[in-house]
Structure 1
Amino acid sequence: MRFDNLYLAGIGSALPGTVTTSEAVSRGLYDPADREMSGMLGVMVAGETPAVDLAAEAGNIAIKRSGHEPGDFVALLHSGSYHQGPDGWSAPHYVLRNTVDRPITALEVRQGCLGMLSGLQIAAGLLTNRSHAGLPDVEGDAGLSDTGADAVLLTAGDNYGGPLVDRWNASRMFLLADGGAAVVASRRGGFAKVLAAGAVSNPAMEELHRGGETLFPPDLSRGLNFEERTAWWRARWAEGVAPPMGHLGELVAEVAERTLEEAGSSIDRVKRVCHVGFTEGPLTAIYLDPLGVDAAKGTWELTRTTGHAGAGDPFIGLEWLWTRGDVEPGDHVLLIGTAPGMEAACAVVEITERST
C-alpha cells in the first residue's frame, strides 16, 4: 500500500552489552562448529532488565527525537516475540505509562518478528482515518482532541534470558538477542517518509513452527526451541510424511517487488536494506539472494554483532544507518522481515533529513 502523508518522526533503540560468540564457545554455551558456520560475532544480553523496560527506553529516545509532545499521540502499539511479563497483565500499558503516559489506547501487535512492520501499517490506518474524519477539533471527555492527534508510538522489546530459552541453540537460523526499539509514526513530517508498506503470507506453512506440539492445553513448560520442531518434521519426513512446502525467500522477493513498485522505487534504487539478524547462511538464502543484493547493501555489519532482537531488528538497523550518516536525504531504504505464519513484510522509506 502506498502512503502520501506518513513519516517516521523519531527513532530510538535500547541495545544492551554483547556477549561474544567466542566467549560463548569458551563457556560451553555454543558449539564451535555452529559458531564458524554462523558468521556471528556477538549477541546482545540484557541480564535481568525486563523486555518492557527496554521498549520504554527506546520509546523515550524516539519521542525526544520526534519533536512530538505526549498530547500528539493517538495510540501506542507494542510488540514482543517472547513473554513480556505476567499472564493477564498488559505490557503495552506499562510501556505507555513509562513513555507517553496519556489516556490513549495501547495495543499489543502479536506478529512475532514482524510486529513493528505490521504495527506501522496499523498506525497508517489510524492516522489516515483521523486526517479524513472531518471531525471538529474539540476536546473530548478524555481531554484529547478528536483530530489533533498526529502520531503513533511503535515499540518492541524482548529479553530471552529466562530459564526456558537457550538463546545460543534455539535455532541455527539465528541467535536470540535482547533489546528494544521504537519509532514515532507521524503525519506532520519526520526524518524519513514512508512511501509504501506491505505483507504477504503462506498460511499453509504455519505447521512448520508448530511441529508436534499440542494446541490445547498449551505446554508452556517446553519453552522456545525451533530446532526441536524442525527435528520433529525431519522424523515425519523419514516416515514418508512430507512437511508443508514453501520457501521464505519467495515471500521476501514477492513482498519486496510488490511494495517497491507501489513506492515508485526498485531494488536498484534502494541505497540500503535493513533486515533481521539471521546467521550468515539463512540471511543469504532467505533475504540477500532473493532480493539480489549483497551483504554490504544490508546491515550484516551490525546484525552479526547484535543477534536477532525480534521485531526491532529492521528499525535498529535504520537508526544505525541514519545516525552514522550512511543514508542521506533522497536515499531509499528497504525495511524487511519475516515471521512464523509464514509471513514476510516490508516498508520502503525515503530519507528526508540528516541526523544531527
Structure 2
Amino acid sequence: MKFGNDLRIKTATSWFPPDHETVEDAIAAGKLDAPDADKIGVTQLPVSTQWSGPEMAVAAARDAMSRAGWSPSKVGLVLHTWIYHQGHDMWSPPHFVANEVGNPEAQSYGVQQGCNGGALALQLAAMHLTADRHLGAALVTTGDRFEPPGMDRWTSDYGLGFGDAGTAALLHRGDAEPDDYALVSMATATDAQFELMMRHGDDFSPAPLWHDGFIDLRRPKKSYLAEYGKKKFETVAGRNIRKVIADSLHDAGLRPDDPRIKYIALPRLGASLLDSIYGPVINELLKAEALRFGAATGHLGCGDFLANLADLRDHASLQPGDIALVIGGGAAWTWACAVVQVPQEHATARDL
C-alpha cells in the first residue's frame, strides 16, 4: 500500500517507567536459567510499579504532542492498541487516551491485532488520513504493563521477556514544518491457521484466566508443537516476512539493493527467535543493516513498532533522503513492514 510522500510521521516517542528488573534478578529468582537468558537476549526489562498501560500511553502521547508543538485540537483521530489488561474491565482505554491528551471529541477506537497492533494501527491511521481530507492528524498509542499475578514477564512465553512501556506516533499530511519521516508504504500478510497455536488443548472458557490463573502462552504452544511440529510455522513465517518486505518495497518503487535503504529495524523479540526466523530472510533479501533495539527493553507487545521508529530517529545515523524499513509480527499471525524516509526538506521527501 503506497501512501505517497506527503503522508508524514510527525514524530514517534517511547515512554518507559524508571524501574527495571535485570536478567540476573530473574535468574536469582529461579525464573530463568542461563540458556533461557541467552535465548531472550536482554540485559533488563522496564517495570512499572505505578502506571497502567493506558497511563503510559498517555505519557508517550503527551511527549509526542510536546515534541511536535501541536495543540490537542489538531488531532481528530486516536487509535490505541494493547495486548494485556488495561487496568479496568469492560472499559475503553482509547477514550481515556483521547480525553487525557486533551481532545475528548476526537474519534477514538481500539485496534486488536496482537503484538502487530502498533503496525496495524499506524496503517489504519494512514488510511484514514488518505481517505478523509478533513482529518487534520491522527494519534496512535500503545501501552501495556505486564505485571503479576496475571502475567510473569520472564516466563509467560518462550524466548521473550515483556517490558512495560507506552509509545505514540503522530501522523498528518506534510506542511512547512519538519517531520521525522515520510510514511512511503506499508504491507501486511496474514495466515490465520496459526491462531490454534495460542489455544491448543484448551476449551473455550467463560472468563479470563480460567485455565491457569495466569497467562501461560507456553502450555498451548507446547501442546500445538507436540502435534504439528515447528517446521511448518517457521516456513510460513519466513515466507510472509519475505512477502511484506518485498511488497512494501515494490509499492515504494524500490529495489531491495537500493543504496538509500540503510537499516531494517527488527521486532523486539528474543534473540533466538530473531536468529532463526527473521535473520535468514533479511540476510538473503537485503543489504541494509538489521537493527535490534530491545536489549534493555525486551518485547513491548504492540509497542515494538512505534518504539523502533523513535529509536531509528534517535540512535541510527539516518540522513535526509535515507530510507529505513520497520518490520513487525503478531500472533496469530500477521506480519507488517513499513518503508519510511527521512525528508530531504521540511515539506518534500525525495521522490521514489
TM-score between both structures, scaled by the size of structure 1: 0.87
Partner in structure 1 of residue 312 of structure 2: 321
Partner in structure 1 of residue 265 of structure 2: 274
Q: Distance in 1 between matches of 2:61 and 2:309?
A: 15
Secondary structure of 1:304 counterpart: coil
Range that drifts further, 315-324 or 116-125: 315-324
Superposition map of 1:196-215 within 5 A: 196-215=185-204
Partner in structure 2 of residue 75 of structure 1: 77
Q: Distance in 1 between matches of 2:87 and 2:67?
A: 28
Closer/same/farther in 2, CA of residues 353 and 56 from structure 1, 3 Å limit: farther
Partner in structure 2 of residue 13 of structure 1: 14
Q: Distance in 1 between matches of 2:333 and 2:88?
A: 27
Q: Deviations over 1:92-115 (max 9, x none)?
A: 111111113231111110111111
Q: Distance in 2 between matches of 1:234 and 1:349?
A: 36
How many positions carry a matched residue from both structures? 335
Secondary structure of 1:123 counterpart: helix
Superposition map of 1:223-262 within 5 A: 223-237=214-228, 246-262=235-251
Q: Distance in 1 between matches of 2:345 and 2:128?
A: 27
Q: Deviations over 1:113-139 (max 9, x none)?
A: 1112111121122112222xxxxxxxx
Q: Deviations over 1:232-274 (max 9, x none)?
A: 1244359xxx987853222111111111111122443321122
Q: Distance in 1 between matches of 2:43 and 2:147?
A: 19
Q: Is the 8 A contact 1:74 1:105 kept in 2?
A: yes
Q: Deviations over 1:162-198 (max 9, x none)?
A: 3021111112231111111100011135220011011
Matched residue type, 2:13: G
Q: Distance in 2 between matches of 1:175 and 1:266?
A: 35
Q: Is the 8 A contact 2:160 2:270 kept in 1?
A: yes
Q: Deviations over 1:66-116 (max 9, x none)?
A: 233222112100010111122211111111111132311111101111112
Gap runs ≥5 in structure 1: 132-146
Q: Distance in 2 between matches of 1:36 and 1:313?
A: 20
How large is the RMSD of aligned CA atoms in angstroms? 2.4
Q: Distance in 2 between matches of 1:124 and 1:347?
A: 11
Q: Distance in 1 between matches of 2:147 and 2:16?
A: 15
**2:183 equivalent among 177, 194, 197:** 194
Secondary structure of 2:70 counterpart: coil
**Does residue 1:171 correspond to 2:157, yes or no?**
yes
Secondary structure of 1:305 counterpart: coil
TM-score between both structures, scaled by the size of structure 2: 0.88
Q: Distance in 1 between matches of 2:295 and 2:332?
A: 25
Q: Distance in 2 between matches of 1:258 and 1:71?
A: 35
Q: Distance in 2 between matches of 1:266 and 1:57?
A: 38
Q: Is the 8 A contact 2:264 2:288 kept in 1?
A: no
Gap runs ≥5 in structure 2: 347-352
Range that drifts further, 281-290 or 263-272: 263-272
Superposition map of 1:78-227 within 5 A: 78-131=80-133, 147=134, 149-189=135-175, 190-221=179-210, 222=212, 223-227=214-218
Partner in structure 2 of residue 24 of structure 1: 26
Q: Distance in 2 between matches of 1:290 and 1:164?
A: 35
Closer/same/farther in 2, CA of residues 292 and 153 from structure 1, 3 Å limit: same
Superposition map of 1:55-70 within 5 A: 55-70=57-72
Secondary structure of 2:170 counterpart: strand
Q: Distance in 1 between matches of 2:161 and 2:224?
A: 21
Partner in structure 1 of residue 2 of structure 2: 2
